[in-house]
Structure 1
């Protein structure tokens, strides 16, 4: 006999959340492996744009972060060719140089102590939407984690290699987890690498959906209460970990060279 058919939605959601803590594996990758797998997964999802775009994660020492080496595409990143740099982009560990555009990552990390990972890319649909100078519209359940959580920078400040762009982008991001940058691309931040990876996948899907919907008619808004409920339900640490584990398994099937430590798995 069923025991839950008379329970309310909030009770069922609480039960499911508890079950996720024990039934969903968080994976056992280290930060370097997570960054490499994120790069490969995003490459497969259409985030490649030559050498454009950066990913970073806070280092163990204050004022440091891991990032990829300039000159390598997302499909070439491995756990061993990542760099550890300081806020001035001076390389502390690894060979080569960081992308000069990583400078605005330093500004975001300073402004947002809650952020531990930044993903900035120029995927096709985000880049196309950015050309219209319109904000991202979240009006579909799958992309609810971005509801009321995506800022918009309407003015292009130019190539983001100066401190001015760092100040502008970090201020425009505010306390949001994502931002659409006009005439540029997208940027997402996360409390974890897993969260940032998940949001990077979602913002490109959101832009794609928006362009399709705009071509067909007028986009209708989500009911705010239900949209907020969906945002909070889908954007929990365990769900982000489960999403990441899925993306990581796919990436490893397509790019087994991304991780060079034998036996790493979900």
Structure 2
């Protein structure tokens, strides 16, 4: 016999949150492994655009971060070929050179102490929406993690290899977790690698849904209070860990070379 059918919503929400906190603890994966898996997840999710795009995560020492080697696509990144660089993009660990466009990541890390991972890519649908100079519209339940959490940069500053681009892009991002860059692509800034991975997958899906909806009619807005509730419910560390683990297991089946043999994902 059910005992919870008369419980109010807030009681059920709190109960589920406690259960998830117990069930989905910290991962045993290293930062390098999480980044390598994220690259494969994003490749499979349509974020591939040749050598365009970067992924970074803070290193153990201040002013350092891990990133992929220039010349390697997202489908070639492994935990062993990632680089550790400083804010001048000097390589501290690894062989090769980083993408010169990584410079603007340093500006975001300096402005946002809460950010530990940045994903910038040019996926087809996000880039297409950016061509229209139209902000991302969140109007469907699955995309609510981005509700009122995706900024918009309406002008293209050109190639992002100068300090000016760092100032412009970090200012446009502000305190949001994502930004759509006109005539360019998307960027997400996560508190964890798991969060950044999930939001990057989601922003491309949201852009695709928006383009489809725009072609069929007028997009109707979500009720603000319910959208904010859904944003918060889907933005917990536990939800991000659970979602990332699923994406990572799927990626590992397709790309077993990206991490050491025997790596276990929860």
The answer for the alignment partner of 1:150 in structure 2 is 150
For 1:53 and 1:17, the matched residues in 2 are separated by 35
Q: Counterparts of 1:13-92 in structure 2 under 5 Å?
A: 13-24=13-24, 26-92=26-92
Name the SS of the counterpart of 1:188 in structure 2.
Answer: strand
1:5: how far off? 1.1
Q: Deviations over 1:114-134 (max 9, x none)?
A: 000000000000010000001
The answer for the alignment partner of 2:233 in structure 1 is 233
1:24: how far off? 3.0
Q: Is the CA contact 1:26–1:245 (under 8 Å) kept in the aligned structure 2?
A: no
For 1:228 and 1:68, the matched residues in 2 are separated by 35
For 1:263 and 1:198, the matched residues in 2 are separated by 20
1:261: how far off? 4.6
For 2:181 and 2:28, the matched residues in 1 are separated by 33
TM-score (norm 1): 0.99
The answer for the alignment partner of 1:191 in structure 2 is 191
For 1:255 and 1:44, the matched residues in 2 are separated by 10
The answer for the alignment partner of 1:258 in structure 2 is 258
For 1:23 and 1:191, the matched residues in 2 are separated by 20
TM-score (norm 2): 0.99
For 2:156 and 2:265, the matched residues in 1 are separated by 41
Structure 1 unpaired stretches of 5+ = none
The answer for the alignment partner of 1:178 in structure 2 is 178
Q: Counterparts of 1:134-149 in structure 2 under 5 Å?
A: 134-149=134-149
The Cα RMSD (Å) is 0.8
**Poorly superposed stretches of 4+, deviation over 6 Å:** none
For 1:192 and 1:135, the matched residues in 2 are separated by 25
